[in-house]
Amino acid sequence: MHMTRLRTHHASFPSFGLILKEKMASHIVGYPRMGPKRELKFALEAFWDGKSSAEELQKVSADLRSSIWKQMSEVGIKYIPSNTFSYYDQVLDTTAMLGAVPDRYSWSGGEIGFDTYFSMARGNASVPAMEMTKWFDTNYHYIVPELGPNTKFSYASHKAVTEYKEAKALGVDTVPVLIGPVTYLLFSKPAKGVEKSFCTLSLLESILPIYKEVIAELKAAGATWIQLDEPTLVKDLDSKQLDAFSKAYSELESSFSGLNVVVETYFADLPAEAYKTLTSLNGVTGFGFDLVRGTNTIEHIKSSFPAGKYLFAGVVDGRNIWANDLAASLTILQALEPVVGKDKLVVSTSCSLMHTAVDLVNETKLDDEIKSWLAFAAQKVVEVNALAKALTGTKDEAFFSSNAAALASRRSSPRVTNEEVQKATALKGSDHRRATPVSARLSAQQKNLNLPILPTTTIGSFPQTVELRRVRREYKANKISEENYIAAIKEEISKVVKLQEELDIDVLVHGEPERNDMVEYFGEQLSGFAFTANGWVQSYGSRCVKPPIIYGDVSRPKPMTVFWSKMAQSMTSRPMKGMLTGPVTILNWSFVRNDQPRFQTCYQIALAIKKEVEDLEAGGIQVIQIDEAALREGLPLRKSEHAFYLDWAVHSFRITNCGIKDTTQIHTHMCYSNFNDIIQSIIDMDADVITIENSRSDEKLLSVFRDGVKYGAGIGPGVYDIHSPRIPSTEEIADRVNKMLAVLDTNVLWVNPDCGLKTRKYNEVNPALTNMVSAAKLIRTQLASAK
């Protein structure tokens, strides 16, 4: 990270090292891991490809950690986190710490190394990976622990202690962060072969001894504070689950002796009973709350905060990139100060900053005006410390004035509001459903498309080669002409089309060679979006994304995909899918404006996508996929808020395709979330075909159909996991398809991978798809002979 200051007409954007070095009552829950140049991503991929050693990977990660610790210390942050750096995700790190390795990975004990760790995350040549799903309502993923009554636990990863000592050797005293024991168990699932009714909380007494060992080692190493993250407290928990927190922390109380412990929550308000449980925990020194997404928690604090305890007040948003309203945050803090005591109030981020980009000083693409409205992780650290200083009476008046001017600029900027768009999204009197029922539409589409039973397709993207990335990069840098760029992309599309025809796939895709990212590509062509040069955010492992910034009203100035889709369709007589990202996914995978309701922004995006769908249909595209991979991800954490969200999210999807012909087939795609609890809303989307992740979650999706849910549209539960390099056999895929046919009608089932293929290599994709098509043909033959 650069130790410089970037100046603009509106404000200054401090990076680290610009604030006085005195330690203020300031706290950072966690920090981004990737680095501004994606150092971790490239180091991980080089290691996985056998191009670098474990030692080289460890050095890259150590350099990133030391840079972050030193710079936070120089800013003046008092409570600096450690053990928040992960090679894949923090839940998998906890699984490693507890030695909870499933038997199939043949781990023989001892300290868990990279081979076992990454096999759990990614699978290997002989065994599949563990399930991956979303972390709360974010686009961050975690590997789901698999536990059972016979799981043996042991202290098998000393990462937390090692990293604490590493920071201490640099002269930085950190706060080691652990996923709390109850949250870990609540985010686990019964292992394969274990009764689904098995309660993972029954293992609490088995894992607490390992937590005690870790805490004892941290104390012996010199730690004075530790942070235990228990964010599941913001969810709807029953009395048994809440009791587990009380039991766990009573058991750990003696281990906490001589140590300060903060229990951190984030992402939402705490229900009243959860707040009472949390603030009554034994041996805990302080409590951390998200006061950005959990504003109602402020009233709990004012009415009943335990005397003598620390309040870690999360007033700086860790999940979005807008500059903090420093005056408003200071007002909140000043109202809380007499409640908790001046010496017990700590200014904090609302959650880990790993959900934001690293540093505005790395940005060259953003113009000065928009940049003045933003704060990335480095700037948020400075905001935290500025608020802490202001509480002590040493308010930086110039910094606060600059902040107020930037906020005023954003409110008054003509770039933010488009009256025509505002009027169009004042939707009245229509639920935007297609006029014909899905059964009749599917019949009309089959007459038009003439597909076999168990039609095969892929989800959209094909491998993104080094050469392809080079072409896109050089085109954006104006190093090659538009003519040469189009020729290169056309050649790539032709290769992908030819490959799919050779594989005998039924419904083709063009492979998306013109796109680096499914959201960024569309945002770049819609008004109201801005983009960063280095605003990378980790999604899991080496996977990182650059979320667009929605700063204003959204509209579509011109067609976005029609040119490429028509080109691809002209290369084949088979149906070619037009590939779009849906409005809810664009919304949930962006940094969204916070000056109007999210549903209003989503409706604007939906109307823009609707125009694209209509232009694709007019251009002869008969199958159009509108991905809603993130619809489930955005579901609020509290059940009382589900209905409102699902109503506008599903409505937004229907807006996109409500005006098209019955013969045009609309697909959608969803991945890596638990969909069973929203199946009725998925049905209500009224898509003709849905492809959905299934293989990595132990076919959990199929259970909803076993329970009697009737799904009349086409459906393609994924038959193999594309996030693993492992190649499934024809027999394995056929077995999965037969399991699906046990609960789904033959005439609605599609055969497809779990997700897009861009993260894989062609030497993995070709045999996997060959086996997938062979499996579909095998079962078609079996079904025909059984008649």
CB–CB of 113/105 below 8 Å?
A: no
Confidence at residue 427, expressed as pLDDT on a 0 to 100 scale = 76
Confidence at residue 365, expressed as pLDDT on a 0 to 100 scale = 81
Give the dihedral sign, CA 486/487/488/491.
Answer: positive
Distance (Å, rounded) from C-alpha 441 to C-alpha 737?
Answer: 25
CA 208, 209, 215 angle in degrees (round to 5)?
85
Distance (Å, rounded) from C-alpha 58 to C-alpha 94?
Answer: 18
Confidence at residue 10, expressed as pLDDT on a 0 to 100 scale = 30
Confidence at residue 737, expressed as pLDDT on a 0 to 100 scale = 95
Q: Which residues pair with 260 in a beta bridge?
A: 225
> Token pair 């394995």 is at which residue?
732
CB–CB of 357/1 below 8 Å?
A: no
Distance (Å, rounded) from C-alpha 204 to C-alpha 136?
Answer: 22
CA 722, 723, 725 angle in degrees (round to 5)?
80
Q: How confident is the model at residue 517 (pLDDT cuts 50, 70, 90)?
A: confident
Q: What would the pLDDT profile of 130-146 be if each residue is shown by its tens digit?
A: 999 889 999 899 999 99
Confidence at residue 672, expressed as pLDDT on a 0 to 100 scale = 59
Q: What would the pLDDT profile of 290-340 be if each residue is shown by its tens digit?
A: 999 999 999 999 999 999 999 999 999 999 999 999 999 999 999 999 999
The residue-averaged pLDDT of 597-613 equals 97
Count how many Cα atoms sit within 13 Å of the Cα of residue 131 in the half-sphere of its side chain.
Answer: 25
User: What is the set of active-site residues?
Assistant: 723
Confidence at residue 709, expressed as pLDDT on a 0 to 100 scale = 77
**Which residues fall within 8 angstroms of residue 666, CB to CB, at 6 or more apart?**
613, 624, 625, 626, 657, 660, 687, 688, 689
Burial class of residue 67, CB neighbours in 10 A (0-12, 13-18, 19+): middle
CA distances from 144 to 93, 104, 134, 151, 413 (A): 11, 15, 10, 15, 45
Q: Which residues pair with 345 in a beta bridge?
A: 311
Q: SS in 3 state form for 632-701? A: CCCCCCCHHHHHHHHHHHHHHHHHHHCCCCCCCEEEEEECCCCCHHHHHHHHHCCCCEEEECCHHHCCHH
Q: What would the pLDDT profile of 444-477 be if each residue is shown by its tens digit?
A: 999 999 999 999 999 999 999 899 999 999 998 8
Burial class of residue 124, CB neighbours in 10 A (0-12, 13-18, 19+): middle
Confidence at residue 696, expressed as pLDDT on a 0 to 100 scale = 67
Distance (Å, rounded) from C-alpha 491 to C-alpha 511?
Answer: 12
Q: Which residues pair with 322 in a beta bridge?
A: 374
Distance (Å, rounded) from C-alpha 230 to C-alpha 132?
Answer: 20
The residue-averaged pLDDT of 478-484 equals 95
Q: How confident is the model at residue 3 (pLDDT cuts 50, 70, 90)?
A: very low
The residue-averaged pLDDT of 204-225 equals 98
Confidence at residue 5, expressed as pLDDT on a 0 to 100 scale = 25
Q: What would the pLDDT profile of 255-292 be if each residue is shown by its tens digit?
A: 999 999 999 999 999 999 999 999 999 999 999 999 99
Burial class of residue 452, CB neighbours in 10 A (0-12, 13-18, 19+): exposed
Distance (Å, rounded) from C-alpha 44 to C-alpha 57?
Answer: 7
Confidence at residue 700, expressed as pLDDT on a 0 to 100 scale = 64
Structure tokens at 107: 């781990």
Q: How confident is the model at residue 540 (pLDDT cuts 50, 70, 90)?
A: confident
Distance (Å, rounded) from C-alpha 119 to C-alpha 112?
Answer: 11
Structure tokens at 80: 């600096």
- Proportion of the chain above pLDDT 90, given as a percent: 81
Confidence at residue 2, expressed as pLDDT on a 0 to 100 scale = 29
Confidence at residue 429, expressed as pLDDT on a 0 to 100 scale = 66
Q: What would the pLDDT profile of 680-727 be if each residue is shown by its tens digit?
A: 899 999 999 999 888 766 666 677 776 777 888 999 999 998 888 889
Structure tokens at 587: 């919304």
Secondary structure class of 343 (helix, strand, coil):
helix
List the end-to-end C-alpha distance of the chain, in Å, as a whole number.
67
Helix, strand and coil content of the chain, in percent to the nearest 5, comes to: 45, 15, 40
Binding-site positions for Zn(2+): 669, 671, 684, 693, 755
Q: What would the pLDDT profile of 492-513 be if each residue is shown by its tens digit?
A: 999 999 999 999 999 999 999 9
> Token pair 């861009």 is at which residue?
758
Distance (Å, rounded) from C-alpha 352 to C-alpha 81?
Answer: 10
Binding-site positions for 5-methyltetrahydropteroyltri-L-glutamate: 41, 139, 543-544, 589
Is residue 244 over pLDDT 60?
yes
Is residue 248 over pLDDT 60?
yes
- Proportion of the chain above pLDDT 70, given as a percent: 95
CB–CB of 347/26 below 8 Å?
A: yes
Binding-site positions: 41, 139, 459-461, 512, 543-544, 589, 627, 669, 671, 684, 693, 755
Confidence at residue 12, expressed as pLDDT on a 0 to 100 scale = 35
Strands 5-7 and 260-264, bridge-based pairing: unpaired
Confidence at residue 787, expressed as pLDDT on a 0 to 100 scale = 75
Average pLDDT, the chain: 92
The residue-averaged pLDDT of 349-354 equals 96
Distance (Å, rounded) from C-alpha 737 to C-alpha 720?
Answer: 10
Structure tokens at 225: 């504070």
Confidence at residue 679, expressed as pLDDT on a 0 to 100 scale = 86
Q: Which residues pair with 102 in a beta bridge?
A: none
Is residue 7 over pLDDT 70?
no
Is residue 4 over pLDDT 50?
no
**Which residues fall within 8 angstroms of residue 466, CB to CB, at 6 or more apart?**
none
28-61 per-residue burial string, b: 16 or more CB within 10 A, e: under 16: bbbbbbbbbebbbbbbbebbbeeebeeeebeebb
Give the dihedral sign, CA 491/492/498/501.
Answer: negative
Confidence at residue 20, expressed as pLDDT on a 0 to 100 scale = 38
